[in-house]
Structure 1
């Protein structure tokens, strides 16, 4: 975490409280994860009948199922007493097979139909060569302080529709493990003419030769001993600058959240999402609170004077920075605006071994403390009743530190950095520790949660993080009754948090005919089953494929929608149900439109509205 000073330049040491150590890039591991593309061929359909499969191989059954699926099927073979497998006579893509399965599943004799496709051996570990060194992601059975990331990946790897803003020192956007994740950000580090009176340039802290602009690149935040000696005495007296190497702090934080996994390079991040880099911290890891507040607002999509509109507003704001004192009026105002926009704010508690710092102590912020490899609270980590959860921050646990058995350097958090100690050099990887490193683990976990359900309310996210956290390990600092409540609900468990979201998603299906003729007015019914006590907030309908049609909702958020079938083609629709807590379920359905000789064109008053059990196409005359 980086510190800030209210109303003046933050006089803070970086809240990654150890120097980053660059690690040379290693060759890719030999094991590879196999990915099935959406256009991977499917071999047929697996069909479960409501009766037995005695007639499954019957020629009439095959012809009937072929017509209803809209593709030519070969003779079926029984898999169980009610499940049969039908091969495609002509290979179909996975998307085509899925559409055929949806059409066939509408038959009243069919319980379900799914594509018969290639699967792969489950391989939990990605092929990034330094994955084994990233203990902070591992399962608790392997590492007591691990965040259980692979269990979350079994459900989702993330969604590029989710954006996390990293309010920090900037970004090394050309880093091979980050380049594919970055969306255009902004540099809010100001140039201050007041510095001229101290004999240094107005952009001394900005360290990039100018003030605010659209380039959030991290130029480095170093100060060498020789450079310090050359500074005017008035500046040294006023700001007490410390000699330090460049931290590449924002790049390290971003890598924990979203470094590209399974690319055979370097390290893995937690989620396949987008990173919005917002530079607010300059030289020496210092930043003005006004710049930080402006950066937070801009990241959330709130207009900021002098800055262009943000085309990629973030869902999650990561703040690995802070300063001492209470949450002041300016922070309160900004956090109120973010809550009104349903933004989730995650902040580091600080590294002074004291109370929770600001803005982590602001109302509604998810305050994150840090723990070590063994799950013990880190010796440096701030704690208090405002702490929500603990996440891997690395370094020494409190008991091992006080007992003189401090952890090794390898027990720190490994992520993306630049290899240079001063101005940028080659991109690389490095180890750091601090609550700054803990906060992005929570941001990554929340990004995975939102990838399943992007409308989740901040209060629900906080509650799920708390209820799914693992207990502090026995014998550690926070497990003591004397420290009850000050370290948060427990240790972050990304797998349990994602599973909790998944189990609460509404189930959605769409009732409509599978095959129709042109010119028919069709009414679709969205069938929604909620999984929580919350009520249904809305159903959002949209067309997701086929010739465009005019989709009409019965009323805003209605479970009903109508459209008129086009002259030909396959049309597909999505119904997205959102409950009052923000849990979101999605259902899809497709209809094949075919004009057959001898069929009259239907007028717009000819409306179809059928329950699930009715046979598609019933009553349409010969051939249907």
Structure 2
């Protein structure tokens, strides 16, 4: 099947699939309204001028997010950067709308319109639950051992729409917070449904009682805390780091941060500020880890070799950040002789590429700790065959009509979708072994990861293997007197 470079991909999808586009995020080269970071390891707090406004006090990590005249601060400062989700480059692919929550969708085969869970190849291949329809009652599943109960995951993103039936009761509205400088709450405010899609991958409950059913997350009994860092299409890195610190102090087991600087803002020779940005990220990450919270980050969607000698992809390459690359199938439920039979969508000779194949867009290299399902695409097919979107990741979204939001489902692809697979896995581990350290959780995920096409370059320690992970965590937890 055809492969295309990023430029040709954008030319194809820009006119074919017309929904919001969100992926790992993109940073502009501009500064953020005179906002900047002050590194307290180089600046005495008492010497910060009184007319410099402190937006976020992250002194736990020796960092301040400030506004004012940066030149008046003697010592190390670096501009707070804008992350723009209105740019066409923000996603690996353009989003595609799916059925509404009432189950209205086109018929795909002899048994009528598909159930929403039939599109969830990412959960089916991991045997997350026998609620999924490919093998009901077919042996023990992940959720027979744990559903993530007793855990908490922060989604630092564009906000989470909790009006979706599969996210009802999932979001902690007391801890959730708007970290941007607008006057609204932690729910989406102009940056689209990226955070809602991510939250569904982690914790959707399959509670929609419409004819199409719902979708199911990796850890449906975990609690989501929504920290909104985007106001309109723009977010600021400093607001994201404030979310990291708040999440750690709220006792979150994991932070899902599907945000980062893409090319060209990865070349320190061209953009020297990246080296100071790296210091800030590492200081905040070190504090967060000291509080017991795992930081899970999307590796980026530029097909970039992340080698420290020539690139600096932030925050993935910062010490203390767990980087996740993306994989996906080609041919899920389309283009083959079994495309009319959902029971065979993950079997037989129908898949041109298996689900652990590196996605065409994913960043790779030494900063990748593991890979996970983020979606893939045959770009020629995607431009002409609606069913080719099945290779993307299907989750909770919303539709907008005026000021009103209504729940729906849709497809996205990117390392943004791979990271929450791992954040959900952290919740599963911590539900079985609550006292496991950050280092132990990360090691468990890496030790139990499976081999996959492309090897270490694309997968780090390997491809996320929930079955082996949960089995190992459960066994070790029971050995220490834990477990469910």
Scaled to the shorter chain, the TM-score interval is 0.5 to 0.7
2:346 alignment partner in structure 1:
none
Q: Identify unmatched segments of 5+ residues in structure 2.
A: 1-23, 29-78, 104-113, 129-133, 267-273, 307-312, 330-353
| Alignment match of 2:141 (pick from 148, 151, 168) | 151
- C-alpha displacement at 1:260, in angstroms? 0.9
Secondary structure in 1 matching 2:364: coil
Aligned residue number for residue 471 of structure 1? 451
Which residue of 2 is the match for residue 380 of structure 1?
Answer: 361
Cα distance change on mapping 1:26 and 1:334 into 2, 3 Å: closer
Q: Map of 1:314-325 to 2, 5 A cutoff?
A: 314-323=252-261, 324-325=265-266
Matched, 1:131 2:117: yes
SS for the counterpart of 1:24 is strand
**Following the alignment from structure 2 to structure 1, what is the Cα–Cα distance between the partners of residues 81 and 439?**
32
How far does residue 15 in structure 1 lie from its aligned partner after superposition?
Answer: 4.8
Show CA shifts across 1:529-588 (max 9, x none): x5xxxxxxxxxxxxxxxxxxxxxxxxxxxxxxxxxxxxxxxxxxxxxx5xxxxxx458xx
1:9 — aligned with what?
82
1:333 to 283, 291, 297: 283
Q: Structure 1, residues 375-418: CA drift from partner, whole Å, max 9, x if none?
A: 210111111112011111112279x99xx999911111011111
Correspondent of 1:430 among 410, 413, 420: 410
Q: 1:395 to 1:139 in 2, by over 3 A?
A: closer
Which residue number in structure 1 is paired with residue 296 of structure 2?
Answer: 346
Please name the residue that 1:605 is paired with: none
1:25 and 2:100 matched: yes
Q: In the alignment, is residue 359 of structure 1 matched against residue 315 of structure 2?
A: yes
- Matched-pair contact (CA < 8 Å) for 1:350–1:382: yes
Listed as ranges, the matches of 1:405-444 within 5 Å are 408-420=388-400, 423-444=403-424
Aligned to 2:205: 260
In structure 2, the CA distance between the partners of 1:178 and 1:487, relative to structure 1 (3 Å rule), is: same
Cα deviation, 1:33-88, whole Å, max 9, x if unaligned, reads xxxxxxxxxxxxxxxxxxxxxxxxxxxxxxxxxxxxxxxxxxxxxxxxxxxxxxxx
Which entry has the higher C-alpha Rg, 1 or 2? 1
Q: 1:346 to 1:422 in 2, by over 3 A?
A: farther
Query: TM-score with structure 1 length normalisation?
Result: 0.50
Structure in which a larger fraction of residues adopt helix: 2
Aligned runs of 1:584-623 on 2, under 5 Å?
584=482
Q: CA deviation at 1:486?
A: 4.2
Match of 2:154 among 141, 165, 168: 165
Matched, 1:490 2:481: no
1:174 equivalent to 2:163? Answer yes
Q: CA RMSD in A?
A: 3.2
1:183 aligns with 2:183: no
| Residues 219-277 of structure 1: per-residue CA shift (max 9 Å, x gap) | 233xxxxxxxxxxxxxxxxxxxxxxxxx3100000011001136543211111110000
1:166–1:341 distance in 2 versus 1, CA, 3 Å: same
CA distance in 2, matches of 1:9, 1:149: 48
Q: Give ranges in structure 1 of 5+ residues lacking alignment.
A: 29-127, 191-209, 222-246, 302-311, 508-529, 531-576, 578-583, 587-624
Stretch deviating more after TM superposition (329-338 or 261-270): 261-270
- Is 1:251 equivalent to 2:193 in the alignment? no
Query: Could you say if the C-alpha distance between residues 317 and 141 of structure 1 is closer, same or farther in structure 2, counting changes exceeding 3 Å?
Result: closer
Q: Structure 1 residues 447 and 485 mapped into 2: Cα distance closer, same or farther (>3 Å)?
A: same
Matched, 1:448 2:386: no
Deviation string for 1:171-212 (max 9, x for gaps)? 11211111210102111112xxxxxxxxxxxxxxxxxxx34x
Cα distance between partner residues in 2 of 1:164 and 1:463: 19
**Corresponding residue of 1:501:** 473
| Structure-2 residue corresponding to 1:287 | 235
SS in 2 for 1:131: helix
Shift in Å, 1:366: 1.3
Question: Separation in 2 of the partners of 1:287 and 1:411?
Answer: 29
Aligned 8 A contact 2:127 2:141 in 1: no
2:47 aligned partner: none
Q: Distance in 1 between matches of 2:171 and 2:422?
A: 19
Which residue does the alignment assign to 1:216? Answer: 186
SS at match of 2:166: coil
* Cα 1:421–1:2 shift into 2, 3 Å: farther
Deviations 1:588-619 (A, max 9, x none): xxxxxxxxxxxxxxxxxxxxxxxxxxxxxxxx
- 1:331–1:359: 8 Å Cα contact kept in structure 2? yes
Q: TM-score, normalised by structure 2?
A: 0.64
Any conservation in 1 of the 2:166–2:207 contact (CA below 8 Å)?
no
- Closer, same or farther: CA 466–7 of 1 in aligned 2, 3 Å: same
